[in-house]
Every structure is written in C-alpha cells, then in structure tokens.
A and B are shown apart, each in its own frame.
Chain A
Amino acid sequence: MALLQVQDLLLSFSGLEVIRTLDFAVEEGSIASLIGPNGAGKTSVFNCLTGFYRPDAGIIRFAGKSLIGRKPHKITQAGMARTFQNLRLFKSMTVLENVMSGMHCRTSAGALGAVFQTGSQQREEIRIREVSEECLDIVGLLSKKEVYAGNLAYGDQRRVEWARALATRPKLLLLDEPAAGLNNDEKKALIALILRIRDTLGITILLIEHDMGLVMEVSEKITVIDYGRKIAEGTALEVQNNPKVIEAYLGSEEEGDFL
C-alpha cells in the first residue's frame, strides 16, 4: 500500500477552486515529484498535506491514517516533514538550534525536568544534540553549527532547512522547490543528497520543483497538475512526451524553456 494516498482532494478559497478532485499516491521508499506551471496549486497541495490548509473534501491517508483535520504539529509527529519554498529559518538562532527544533516532537521533557535538571531531561538534551549534529552532518553543515542561521549563505540556509526537517525523523519528506535559487554545483549536490536521504535513511521523498533537469533526474514518478487538476502521471519520459503536459507548459511564458 502507498505511504501517502490522496483521493478526490478539493480546496477552494471563497469560491475559487485551487485544487479540484486531485488523486495521487506516493509509494513507500520512492522519490516522487509534483510539477505544474506557476499557480497550478502545488504548494496548496503541500499545505493541505501538512495541515496548514483544511481541504473542502477528499481523503488524505498517510501510513494508513487519515490526516484530514489534524493540526500541523500532529502531522509532523506522525512522520511527515516539510521544507518551505521561501526559507523559514529561525534566523537569530544558531544553525544547531534550528535543527534541534526538529527533535522537539520526538522528545518530551517539560518545565519541571528543566528546572530540576532531572537525569532523563539531561539525557534527552544530549540526544537532541547528537541527532541534530548527525542531521547537520548528512547535509554537510556540521562545521557551521554555531553560526547564526541568518548569517549563512543562501544555499547553506536551504541545507539547514533540510537538516531541520530530517531531525523530525520523518517517514516522508516534502521538499517545496528545494533547488530554487541554487547554482549548478549546489543543484548537483542537492540531487546527490536527495538520493542519499532515500537510499541510506529510507525516507520517502515528494518534491515540488521548477527545475526540470532535477525533476527528471531524481523522480521515479511525476504527477503533473494544472489548474488544480492532475493532467498526467508517470515516469519522466512518459510525462515529457505527454501532449497535455506540453500544452500546459507552452501556455506559460516562464516555463517556455521546458522543451
């Protein structure tokens, strides 16, 4: 059974339908992509999945459980982590502190533990630090752990977001335009990283991306949406040759270089 199953998803904002009866599924252990022209509703889909928007109708099942109506933090706890299209780091905190935020939902120490410095609280603090450092190591930023996140270069800030998402110990990682603003070298590193996260950590990945080179290279399944509706689905080759996809993209100036 698929790790993530979306059926008949419907979302509208005061009458304007943003997502119309969308169906798609992400298999466990796969790398899937959601693509489409600007304004097709990709980020809205992510916001529905992660509980930031409440869909009008439809089914979202994740690891066998329905996610509809659940709060964002509960969904993260259930094992779905996300990154943001426009970086949302805690800028005046250090890189390590940023990543430690991910471990919050996997730990439990409260106010009393902190005040009385109980043994379990101290062990937990050590574990939070260790896991966070591991995650920073995976994205290659361990050496910058004490730097304030806001002072990092753009590409590095992106990495902090990935490390932070990894620190939530997800089953499924949603990446919202991870390559936006990255240079070619950084994109190559990103592709390697995406594959490594899946292959060595066994984390399923769903990404939204405009960079077609990247999408075609890493995705095993691509879902194309336009005006909130699925217009094609399949492997990179199948999608590229689909006339509906070509039409959707030709209509958009920005994606003119797609073909």
Chain B
Amino acid sequence: MGNSQPLSSWADWLKPQRNRMIVLMILAAVAMVIPVVANNYLLEVLTNAWFYTILCLGLNIVVGYAGLLDLGYAAFFAVGAYTTGILTSKFGFNFWLTIPFAVGCSMLAGVIIGGPTLRLRSDYLAIVTLGFGEIVRIIARNLEITGGASGLIGIERPYFFGIQLNQGIHFYYVFLLLAIAACYVSYRLQHSRLGRAWQYVREDEDAAEAMGIDRVGVKLHAYVIGAMFGGIAGCFFAAKMTAISPETFTFAQSVLILLGVVLGGMGKIPGVIVGAFALVLFPEVFRGVGSMRMLIFAIVMLVIMLYRPEGIWPRVKS
C-alpha cells in the first residue's frame, strides 16, 4: 500500500459529505435526463457503460474488496445469461421469473468453483478461475440446450407493467437502475462487518485468522456475492440482446472486466464506475482512427497504469 501520495485538489474538495452529495445528485440527474437529448448511438454506448459498471462492481467485490484475482468472471455473467435464455426460449418462462433462477445458478456456480479453490493462494486461484471461465464457455458451446456454437436466439423481451421493453431508452434505464442498485449494495457491504473482514483478509490473512475471522468463509462470501452481480447483469443482458452466444463470454471478456476494475481503482466504487466508462468510451472516442484504435486504447491504459498504478480514482487518505 505504501506511503500516501499528494491529493489532487478536486479529491480534497470531494471529502466533505455535503460536497459528495451535491456531485452525486448532479450526476444522477444528468444520467436520468441524458436519454432525452442523446441519439441512439450515444444511448447504446451509455447503456453499455452502465452494463459494464454492474459487472465491474461485481468483480470489484472479489478483486478489490477481498483481494482475490479472478480471471474467469465472465463465467458468472454467462451462467446468468444462459439461465434466463434457456428458461425463456426453451421453457416459456416469464423473464422476471427467471431472475431468481439466474441469481441462484450463478451463486451456485460461485460456491462450486470457490468452495474448493479459495483455500489456494491467490496466484493458483487465478489459474483455476481462468480454467473455470473457459470450461463454462466450452460447455455452452457443446451442449444442445445452450444452442451450441450459434447460441440461443429468440429470447423474449420482458414486459414491465404492460409495456414491452424493446427500445434503447428502456434498457438504458434498466441498466442505470441496476447500476445504482449495485453501487448501493457495494457501498453498504464495504462499510459493514463483512466488508471490513474482506479488507482484513486482503491485508494480512494470518493476522485476520488470528483475530477470529474465517478466512475461507469470508472469501467465499465475496466470491458468491460477486457471482450474483454477474448473474443479474447476464440475465438482463440476455433480455436486451435477445440472442446470446458462447463467444460473448470469452477470456477476453473476463480480462476486459478486470481491466475496468484495475483501471479505475480497485476497491473504490467511484473509481470502478470511471473504469467501466473508460472501458466502453475509449474505443468509441477513438473510432475515427479505425483499426489503430485498440492500439491507442492499449497505450492509454499502459500510460495510466504507469502513472497511476492505483487506478484513475485518487486515493483519499490522511
């Protein structure tokens, strides 16, 4: 963690609770009214940004709070998406009824993978989660019920009080609300007994254990809650896209989500949101330079990591 670095002035200004609330209110208001002025393209990009915000916040619980390196997070997102996809397209379930199943399945996946592996030290865990992510994708590719390599199509769009959610603006608000909920849950968890336990374990596992903290138990909590975030995001993703295929849930996807967390600043909610937005907006901003854009994206990220190894968001520390 090292010594404290100088604070930038805007971070100083953000310290008092009142100033934070003002900024939060303005941002929320902007997010709420943006669809009125935005064109379809911008709306789609922003929807995508909120979507990645949910995923990044979920992974942040695992990586940022509990300090576990997870390289297969897309698997949980896949489990959620496929659960909803299969239940609606093959069994005719109402979308809303699939949510508890999607949550249940992704949490179960978290227990199955986390239970035996969380005893391992972090580098081994990274390898196992990487493998797990690939296993889930390959299973989805080869099972009949998941539609094989072409995936599932014809996932019905949900109705909300009689209105079918079928326009960009609908999904913008769906993902915005989910992202706000994800922020709230993250914030509450971070400042709770469980959140502190994650931090203790992250800082010094042995000392945490000597203080009576069940190391494996609290890690499993982080893992399962993170999986749940991914599952919920996946289930709404399936509803928005109406079609899902195994290639959405590649290793690259897992890395991208992890990148958002690390780029913005692990363990810091505003940082993770900034990271998720950076992830989605950078490639769009540089769309003009054509095939060079991914290269520029990579360079920008390298520069950020070189000059701000703790992420874009400043560390507020006395």
Which of A's residues lie within 8 Å of B, judged by CB? 50, 52, 71-73, 76-77, 81-82, 84, 88-93, 97, 100-102, 104-107, 109-111, 113-115, 117, 121, 124-125, 128, 146-148, 150, 164, 168
Contact = CB atoms under 8 A, between A and B. Distances in A.
Interface residues of B, number: 30
Contact of B212 (A77, A84, A97): A77
Given A72-B209, A115-B185, A91 B203 contact: yes
B215 to A, nearest CB: 7
A77 to B, nearest CB: 5
Nearest to A174: B210
B69 interface: no
Given A89-B207, A150-B1, A168-B211, A100 B196 contact: yes
B269 to A, nearest CB: 14
Contacts of A128: 193
A114 B208 contact: no
Interface in B206-222: 206-215, 221
Given A90-B200, A90-B204, A148-B317, A114 B210 contact: no
Given A101-B213, A104-B213, A148-B318, A88 B204 contact: yes
Interface string B195-237: 1110110011011111111110000010001000000000000
A8 to B, nearest CB: 25
Contacts of A77: 212
B188 interface: yes
Nearest to B216: A71
Contacts of B199: 90, 93, 97
Contacts of A90: 199-200, 203-204, 207-208
A54 B72 CA distance: 34
B211 A114 contact: no
A73 B197 CA distance: 12
B5 interface: no
A164 B211 CA distance: 8
A210 B207 CA distance: 22
B207 A109 contact: no
A73 B225 contact: no
A100 to B, nearest CB: 6
Nearest to A109: B193
A104 B193 contact: yes
A115 B189 contact: yes
Contact of B206 (A52, A81, A146): A52
A73 B193 contact: no
Contacts of B192: 109, 111, 113-114, 121, 125
Given A71-B209, A125-B192, 20 more contacts: A71-B214, A73-B212, A84-B210, A88-B207, A89-B204, A90-B204, A90-B208, A92-B317, A93-B199, A101-B196, A101-B200, A104-B200, A104-B212, A105-B213, A111-B189, A111-B194, A114-B191, A114-B192, A114-B195, A125-B193
The interface residues of chain B, by DSSP majority, are classed as helix
Interface of B: 1, 184-185, 188-189, 191-197, 199-200, 203-204, 206-215, 221, 225, 317-318
Contact of B211 (A102, A113, A150): A102
A101 B188 contact: no
A119 B194 CA distance: 16
Contact of A111 (B184, B191, B209, B225): B225
Scoring B1, B185, B192 by chain A CB atoms within 10 A of each residue's CB, the highest score goes to B192
A44 to B, nearest CB: 15
A91 B1 contact: yes
B213 A84 contact: no
Contacts of A150: 1
A117 B213 contact: no
A106 B214 CA distance: 12
Given A82-B210, A101-B200, A115-B188, A73 B215 contact: yes
A104 B193 CA distance: 7
Residue with the highest number of chain A CB atoms closer than 10 Å, among B184, B195, B197, B207:
B207
Contacts of B210: 50, 52, 72, 76, 81-82, 84, 88
Given A109-B193, A110-B194, A92 B1 contact: yes
Contacts of A92: 1, 203, 317
Given A114-B188, A114-B193, A115-B188, A102 B212 contact: yes
A91 B194 CA distance: 18
A146 B318 CA distance: 9
16 contacts: A73-B214, A76-B210, A76-B212, A81-B210, A90-B203, A90-B207, A91-B1, A101-B197, A101-B208, A102-B212, A104-B200, A110-B221, A111-B189, A147-B318, A148-B317, A168-B212
B187 to A, nearest CB: 10
Contacts of B208: 90, 101
**In the A-B complex, the 10 residue pairs with the closest CB atoms:** A105-B212, A114-B192, A76-B212, A88-B207, A92-B1, A90-B203, A72-B209, A101-B211, A73-B214, A115-B188
